[in-house]
Amino acid sequence: MNKLFLSLLCMIPICALSQELVSPNSQLTMNFELENGVPTYQLSLEGKEIIKPSSLGFELKDIENLLDGFSVVDTESTTYDETWRPVWGEQSEIRNHYKELLVKLKQDATDRYMNIRFRLFDEGLGFRYEFPEQANLIYFVISEEKTEFALTGDHKAFWIPGDYDTQEYDYTTSKLSEISSLMNKAITPNASQTPFSKTGVQTALMLKTDDGIYINIHEAALVEYACMHLELDEDTFVFESHLTPDAVGNKGYMQAPRNTPWRTIMASKNAGDILLSTITLNLNEPLAYEDTSWIKPVKYIGVWWEMITGKSTWAYADVPSVKLEDTDFENLTPNGKHAANTGKVKRYIDFAAEHGFAQVLVEGWNVGWEDWIGKSKDYVFDFLTPYPDFDLEGLRDYAAQKGVRLMMHHETSGSIRNYERHMDAAYQFMVNHNYNAVKSGYVGNIIPRGEYHYGQWAVNHYLYAVKKAAEYKIMVNAHEAVRPTGLSRTYPNLVGNESARGTEFEAFGGNNPDHTTILPFTRLIGGPMDYTPGVFEQDMSVHNPTNNSWANTTIARQLALYVTMYSPLQMAADLPEVYEKHMDAFQFIKDVGLDWDKSIVLEAEPGDYITYARKEKGKNNWFVGRTNDEKPRTSNISFDFLDDGKEYLMTLYADAKDAHYRKNPKAYQIAKYKVNRKSKLNQFCAPGGGYAISIIEVDKDKLKGLKRL
Amino acid sequence: MNKLFLSLLCMIPICALSQELVSPNSQLTMNFELENGVPTYQLSLEGKEIIKPSSLGFELKDIENLLDGFSVVDTESTTYDETWRPVWGEQSEIRNHYKELLVKLKQDATDRYMNIRFRLFDEGLGFRYEFPEQANLIYFVISEEKTEFALTGDHKAFWIPGDYDTQEYDYTTSKLSEISSLMNKAITPNASQTPFSKTGVQTALMLKTDDGIYINIHEAALVEYACMHLELDEDTFVFESHLTPDAVGNKGYMQAPRNTPWRTIMASKNAGDILLSTITLNLNEPLAYEDTSWIKPVKYIGVWWEMITGKSTWAYADVPSVKLEDTDFENLTPNGKHAANTGKVKRYIDFAAEHGFAQVLVEGWNVGWEDWIGKSKDYVFDFLTPYPDFDLEGLRDYAAQKGVRLMMHHETSGSIRNYERHMDAAYQFMVNHNYNAVKSGYVGNIIPRGEYHYGQWAVNHYLYAVKKAAEYKIMVNAHEAVRPTGLSRTYPNLVGNESARGTEFEAFGGNNPDHTTILPFTRLIGGPMDYTPGVFEQDMSVHNPTNNSWANTTIARQLALYVTMYSPLQMAADLPEVYEKHMDAFQFIKDVGLDWDKSIVLEAEPGDYITYARKEKGKNNWFVGRTNDEKPRTSNISFDFLDDGKEYLMTLYADAKDAHYRKNPKAYQIAKYKVNRKSKLNQFCAPGGGYAISIIEVDKDKLKGLKRL
C-alpha cells in the first residue's frame, strides 16, 4: 500500500495501524500504535529497536482509568525548525528541530479524550500527554502514571535510588538486573530521604547497551506535577513511571485542559550526543520574561566551606534551641566559632575583589541556626534578622565599595509555608541590601508534614519562588529542590540547583572518584548544577581534626570541573588561605569562562571520563576540561575546534605523573604552549584526576619562546 | 495536722497528698493528687463530686510518654482579682477573679518537667499544661493528649459528632450512653467532614446531671495546637481528650518552653451561670493591640441569602470550569442569575443606607465561583479580580456617598496556601477600596490535602490571617474555621466565626426548632457566632421553586436571636423585598444594640428556652430576647434589672397566640407599653418561637396613652 492510502486509512478512528515518526536526520524512528485499545510507542535507532512497544496511560482515583479502550480520532504531523538564543548556556544559539506527531485519542466507553504529542529530534524523543477541554474529564486525580519504557535488554545503568526526598546518593553502576541486590547499599543516610522500592531509580537515568548505544531517560518541563521516578520490572527490563505521592498517597491533581511534563528518551551511538542534547531545553516553553538584563552568570566564593568541614558553625551560640519570637540573640553567649561574622566576611570580600569574584555567599548570617535541622520546626527562620556579629549594613557598603556583592542565603529547613510567608519581605530585604542572587535550601523533611521534596506541592512551591524572585530581579539557586527539567529556558533567573550529591559530600565521607564522570549524563541533563568545585585541600581533618573525610579528587580535576560541570554559577569553594598556597592553579579558576558561545564534547564515556571544550561567549577563548574516574588513563584530543589560521596561548593544568586522588592529590603541573587547530594532546590523567586548559587568542609576539604543543 | 504542716509536707518531692484549690466563693473545690505517680484532678461543687479523679498527661511519639512516674517538685498558690474592659462584648467590664494552683512535676526516670496550672473561678475550673525550658524535653511530638474528664454519671448531653472538619451538625440531646447508637443519624452530609468515632463529640460540650447540675467542657486560648474533641468511654462515662491529627497522624508539634491551651470545666446549679461565664475570655492573654479604634461592631445586610436559597448564583457563568490564569471572564456568557452585580448591590446599598445598616456583604463578586467547590482546586480564587458585572470602583464610591461600606468576602475553598499567597495583596486591596471587614470561608477539604480544618496547621493559619488583618486594620469573620476559644480578648479584630450550623441551614433542610436554645451553651461559649438571623420568609420555595426547605422558626423568634445570639456582627439575612413586607417587625432589627454594658440571663434551660436581657453600651436602653424550643411555653420574667425610678417605653414583638414555626410562622404581634423595674411579663412563646423586646428610656410625655405592662 502506498503512503497516501495508509494516511487515508489512518484517518479512520478504528484504525490501529502504526503511525510512524522519523527524526530530521532519519536515524530515529518512533512508531505509535494502539494495541487492543492501549496506546503504545516504540523507538528505533538506525533500524535497531531501542525501546520495545511500551504502553502509555494513567490510573485515576475513583474514576475509570485512562489505560485502554482507546481509538484514534485524528493525528496531525508537523515539522518544526527554529533557532533561539538562551540568556545563558552552553551554546549561544540552540536549534530546535523536530518532527512532531500529535495523536488524538478517544476512550470510547467513557467519551473522554487524551492526546499524546510526540516530538522526535535527531538525538531523541520527547512526548507528553495532553488533556483537552472536554465534558467528561475536567478535575481528576492521578493514582499513578503508567508510562512504560520497555528496554531491550539488561543494560548497564548509572543510577541512584528512587527517593521522594533526596538525590544526594553516590551513583551505582550496574546491570539493570543487579539494581535490587545493590539497593540497600546504595541508600546512604540523609537528612531527608524516602526510598520507595528496591527496584526504583531516579531520572535522568543513563544507560548503555551491550551494543554500545547510549540511552537516557528524563523529563522536561516539570510544572504543577509530581516528579517522575522509574520502577523496574526485573523480569522484562521494562521501566514504568512512578510519580511522587502527596501526603495522602495521591500523585497528581489535574484540571483539564492541561498537559503533563514531557518524557524524554535520548538515544545515540555517541555519548557526547547525550551530553550536548538540547532536547530538554527545546521542550520547555520559550522565555517568559521581557527584561533579562539583570540575569548574569556569577563566579563566587563563600563563607561556607569552613562550616561544611565542621571547622566553624552556622550557629552563633551553642544553645539547644531558640525561638525567633522570644530569644534575645544579643544576649546569647557567642560560641566563638560563628563563621558569618563581619571581620571574616570582609576578608572574603577583599579576596573576591582582588581575584575578580563577583559575589561572596554568606551562610549563617541570620538568626535561627542554633536548632535549624532535624526538629521539624515550623517558624525556623525569618530571613531578615542578622546575628549580632554580622553588620549587615556595613558589609553591604563595604562590598559595594569593593565592587563585590554578597550572595544571600535562604535556608528554609524544608518549612515551606514559613518561607512563603516571609518571601516578599525577604526578597525586598535583598533588594534593599544590594543582593541580587539567593542560594535557597530545603534541608530536612518538608513541612507540611507528609509532603515530599519531589511531590506536586513542593514542585509548585519551587517555581513560585523563582517567579516571585523575578519580580524583584533576583536570581535563584535552589538546593535540595527537585532536579531541574529545563525550566531555565522559560525562567532564566533559575540559575542553579543542587539536587544531587555535590562537592559538600567530599567533606561528608567523600564522593566516588568517578562521580563527576556520571553527573553530566544524569543530573545535568535537566539543567546546571551548583556543584561548587575548587576544593584544593582533600584532607578535611586539616580544617576540623574530627573530620576524617577525604575529597576523592586531584587538584587538576577540580579545575577541570569548571568546564565539565556546566553552570552559570561557579563557586570556588575552598578557603582563601588554601588558595593562597596554590595561586598558580587558582589562576585557572579566575580565568575560566562562565557563559559560552559553543560547547563540544571531545571524549566521553559515562563512568570513565568526560572531556569538554567550550568557547567563551563573545570572545575567542576556549576552555577544555577533562574529568577522570578511578583508573589512570590517557586523554587524546585534537584542537581542530580552533579557528583556522590563528595561534593561541594554551595553559595546561594537569596531574603530575604520580598524582593520585588519595595518595598524591596535590601533585599538579602547569605548562604553557602555543597551539593552533592542528595541535593534538596526549595527556596522562591520574585516578580521580583530570586536566584543565585555557586557550587564549593572543598576538603572535606573546607566543614567543613558548613550545608548540 | 494543721495547714502549715501540710504545706511543709507537700514540699517533699515524694508527697502524694492532695493539693486543694477552692474558688473565691468557696463553692467549687479542686483537688490535685498524684496517684501512683499519675497526676489527677477532681472537682466538686458545694461538696458534691462533679468530676471524679481524672488523669492528666500525654502520649508522645517515639519517646517516653508523660503519663506517669511523676513527683511533685513544688507548688505555688496565688489569688488574682482584676477587672478589665473588652473592646466589645456582652459586658463592658469583666472581672477576672480566681484562685490559682501551679503544680510543678518531675518525671523522675527521664528527668523531664511538666507543670500544670489550675485556675478556679466561681463558675468553673481552667487548667493547662506547661512545659518549662529544660534539658531533656525540647522538641516533641504529641501522639495524643490524655486529659480525662471523669463524669459522675450518665448525664444528659447536648452534643454534635466529633469531627476533624466541621461543626455544622444539628445538636443531639441524649444520655451519654446513647451517643454511640445515635451517632450515625447525627452525621448528616457536609462539604467537608471527618467524623472519627461513634463515641466522639466536640466541645463545647453541655451536660446536665440528674441532680440538675449544669456542666460545660471546652477549651480556651487554642493557639499553635490542635483542636480538642472528647472521646467517651461508655462504661465509665469518662471523657478523654482527642486531638485533631495532621496528615501523618501526629497531633502536635511542640517546642518547650510553651503551654497548651486551657481545658475548662464549668459547673453550676444555674444554667445562666454557664451562659454568662467569662472564664474562657479570662483565660486568654490580654489585648495585644495598642490601637483598637478601628474595631467596631457592625450591623449588615448582604447579597447572600438569594444564593443560599438557590434563587441566584455566586457564579457569573454556567461553565463547568475556569482557570484564573487563562479564562477571559469578559467573554463568558453570563448566566443571568449572578446576584453580585452592580445594580443589585446598589439596591442593597440603598436599603442599608435607608435603614441604618453599616455594611453590605457581597458574595460572588470575584472571579472563580464557577468551579469553587468540591474540586480540590489549588488556585481557586485570587481575591482581587471582580466579575465583569461588578463595578468595584463605582460601588465603592456609591457606598461611600451613602455612608455605607461594602463587606468583603474571601471564600478560600479550603485552599490555605493559595489564600496566604494572596493575603497581603487581598488585604491591601480591601484598604484601597474602603473595605474594613472580611467574611472569610473555608468550604471544602483543606489543601494541603491530608490536613484538617481543626488541626494545628489550620489553627495556625486562622490566627495568622487575623493578626495580618490587624496590620491593615481589618476585622475578620471566619466561617468554617475552628470554633473560637476566647482569642477575641487578645485579638479583638476577630469579630466572628461561624463554625457551627447557622441560619443558612434553614435553607439546606432546616435547623431543629430548639437549635438556638442549645447554641449559646455550646458554640457560643468560646466566642460570638455570625449566626446571620433575620429570616422572615420560612418557605424557601418562595425564592427557589426547587428548594423545599423550611426555616423552623417564627418571625418573632428571629428577632429574639439578635439578643440571644450575642455577636458584634449582626446580619439581617433575608432579602430587602421580604423585609419590606414586614417593616413593623423589621424595626426591632434596626433598633437592637450590638454592644453591651451588661448582659443577664432571665431564664435558661438548654434545649428548651433562653431569655437574655442586655443593656446597650453607653445608653439606657435594654433589649430582651427569648428563644423557644418546639414546645409551646410561657415565659415569666420580671424587669427588676431596670433602673429604679425610671419609666421606659417597651415594644414587644411576640408570637401570635396561634403562631407555630411550621404552621403559622409569620403570625406575630407588636405592642407598646410603659414599663419600670416593677413590671413583669408572662408571655406565650410558640413552638419554634419567642419574643423580642426593646426598652428605651424616654421622657415621660412620650409614654402618654400607653398601657402599663
Could you read off the pLDDT of A492-514 as tens digits, one per residue? 999 999 999 999 999 999 999 99
B141 touches chain A (CB under 8 A): yes
Known catalytic residue at A603? no
Q: A219, A411, A451, A504: which is the annotated catalytic residue?
A: A504
B5 touches chain A (CB under 8 A): no
- What is the per-residue pLDDT for B13? 47
Per-residue pLDDT at A7 exceeds 80: no
Q: What is the mean pLDDT of chain B?
A: 96
Q: State whether residue A282 is helix, strand or coil.
A: helix
Q: What is the largest CA-CA distance in chain A?
A: 87
- What is the per-residue pLDDT for B11? 53
Which of A248, A380, A415, A416 has the highest number of chain B CBs within 10 A, making it the mutation to test binding with B?
Answer: A248
Question: Is residue B626 a contact partner of residue B391, using CB atoms and an 8 Å limit?
Answer: no
A252-274 pLDDT, tens digit per residue, is 999 999 999 999 999 999 999 99
Residues of A within 8 A of B248 (CB-CB) are: 247, 449-450
B282-302 pLDDT, tens digit per residue, is 999 999 999 999 999 999 999
Q: At what angle do helices A416-432 and A456-471 cross, to 10 degrees?
A: 10
- What is the per-residue pLDDT for B1? 46
Mean pLDDT of A95-101: 98
- What is the per-residue pLDDT for B3? 54
User: Using the beta-carbon criterion (under 8 Å), do A450 and B320 form an inter-chain contact?
Assistant: no
- What is the per-residue pLDDT for A11? 53
CA dihedral for A451, A452, A456, A460, sign (positive or negative): positive
Task: Give B92's contacts (C-beta < 8 A, 6+ positions apart).
Answer: B85, B86, B596, B597, B598, B617
Mean pLDDT of B374-393: 97
- What is the per-residue pLDDT for B556? 98
- What is the per-residue pLDDT for A4? 54
B297-352 pLDDT, tens digit per residue, is 999 999 999 999 999 999 999 999 999 999 999 999 999 999 999 999 999 999 99
ipTM of model: 0.95
Q: B145, B363, B370, B504: which is the annotated catalytic residue?
A: B504
User: Which of A376, A417, A421 has the CB atom closest to B253's CB atom?
Assistant: A376
User: Using the beta-carbon criterion (under 8 Å), do A420 and B421 form an inter-chain contact?
Assistant: yes
What's the pLDDT band for A18 if we cut at 50, 70, 90? confident
User: Using the beta-carbon criterion (under 8 Å), do B448 and A375 form an inter-chain contact?
Assistant: no
User: Which of A138, A247, A321 has the CB atom closest to B320's CB atom?
Assistant: A138
Per-residue pLDDT at B591 exceeds 60: yes
CA dihedral for A420, A425, A429, A435, sign (positive or negative): positive
Residue in B580, B511, B97, B539 with CA at minimum distance from that of residue B301:
B580
- What is the per-residue pLDDT for B8? 53
A345-367 pLDDT, tens digit per residue, is 999 999 999 999 999 999 999 99
Distance CA A57, CA A64 (A): 12
Return residues 168-187 of A near B (CB < 8 Å).
none
User: Using the beta-carbon criterion (under 8 Å), do A378 and B323 form an inter-chain contact?
Assistant: no
A619 touches chain B (CB under 8 A): no
Residue in B628, B606, B557 with CA at minimum distance from that of residue B173:
B606
Question: How far, CA to CA in Å, does B251 sit from each of A472, B14, B662?
Answer: 38, 32, 44
SS3 content of chain B, % helix, strand, coil (to 5): 20, 35, 45
Question: Is residue B406 a contact partner of residue B432, using CB atoms and an 8 Å limit?
Answer: no
User: Which of A255, A378, A424 has the CB atom closest to B424's CB atom?
Assistant: A424
Per-residue pLDDT at B571 exceeds 90: yes
User: Which of A255, A417, A460 has the CB atom closest to B321's CB atom?
Assistant: A255
Residue in B587, B647, B606 with CA at minimum distance from that of residue B522:
B606
User: Which of B250, B375, B378 has the CB atom closest to A449's CB atom?
Assistant: B250
Instruction: Name the grid cell of B572.
Output: 439581617
Half-sphere exposure of A155 (CA within 13 A, CB side): 24
Q: What is the mean pLDDT of chain A?
A: 96
B599-651 pLDDT, tens digit per residue, is 999 999 999 999 999 999 999 999 999 999 999 999 999 999 999 999 999 99
Distance CA B26, CA B599 (A): 24
Residue in B204, B234, B252, B248 with CA at minimum distance from that of residue B520:
B204
Distance CA B185, CA B195 (A): 12
C-alpha gyration radius of chain B: 26
Residues of B within 8 A of A460 (CB-CB) are: 378
Residues of A within 8 A of B249 (CB-CB) are: none
- What is the per-residue pLDDT for B700? 85
Distance CA B47, CA A152 (A): 84
State pTM to two decimals. 0.96
B21-52 pLDDT, tens digit per residue, is 999 999 999 999 999 999 999 999 999 999 99
Mean pLDDT of B438-444: 98
Question: Is residue B68 a contact partner of residue B38, using CB atoms and an 8 Å limit?
Answer: yes
Distance CA B492, CA B480 (A): 19
Q: How far is A220 from chain B (nearest CA, A)?
A: 22
Which of A133, A136, A378, A449 has the highest number of chain B CBs within 10 A, making it the mutation to test binding with B?
Answer: A449
Residues of A within 8 A of B378 (CB-CB) are: 253, 460
Mean pLDDT of A284-293: 98
A548-594 pLDDT, tens digit per residue, is 999 999 999 999 999 999 999 999 999 999 999 999 999 999 999 99
A334 touches chain B (CB under 8 A): no
- Tell me whether residue B134 is exposed, middle or buried, using C-beta atoms within 10 angstroms of its C-beta: 0 to 12, 13 to 18, 19 or more: middle
**Ordered domains of chain B (ranges, CATH):** 2-282 (2.70.98.10), 298-499 (3.20.20.70), 501-527+557-565+594-709 (2.60.40.1180)
C-alpha triplet A407, A221, A273: angle, nearest 5°? 90
User: Using the beta-carbon criterion (under 8 Å), do B320 and A135 form an inter-chain contact?
Assistant: yes
Distance CA B247, CA A449 (A): 7
Question: Is residue A475 a contact partner of residue A293, using CB atoms and an 8 Å limit?
Answer: no
Distance CA A399, CA A395 (A): 6
Per-residue pLDDT at B557 exceeds 80: yes
Distance CA B686, CA A522 (A): 78
Question: How far, CA to CA in Å, does B639 sit from each of A605, B376, B610, B623, B627?
Answer: 97, 54, 16, 11, 18
- DSSP line for A610-629: EEEEEEETTSS-EEEEEEE-
Distance CA A353, CA B225 (A): 50
B119-142 pLDDT, tens digit per residue, is 999 999 999 999 999 999 999 999
Distance CA A122, CA A81 (A): 12
Per-residue pLDDT at B6 exceeds 80: no
Strand order in the sheet with A58-60: A58-60, A139-145, A252-255
A385-414 pLDDT, tens digit per residue, is 999 999 999 999 999 999 999 999 999 999
Mean pLDDT of A183-190: 97
User: Using the beta-carbon criterion (under 8 Å), do B451 and A451 form an inter-chain contact?
Assistant: no
User: Using the beta-carbon criterion (under 8 Å), do A321 and B247 form an inter-chain contact?
Assistant: no
Parallel/antiparallel/unpaired status of strands A70-84 and A58-60: unpaired
Question: Is residue B475 a contact partner of residue B410, using CB atoms and an 8 Å limit?
Answer: no
- DSSP line for A496-556: EE--S--GGGGTTT---TTHHHHGGGTGGGSS-B---------BGGGT-TT---B----HH
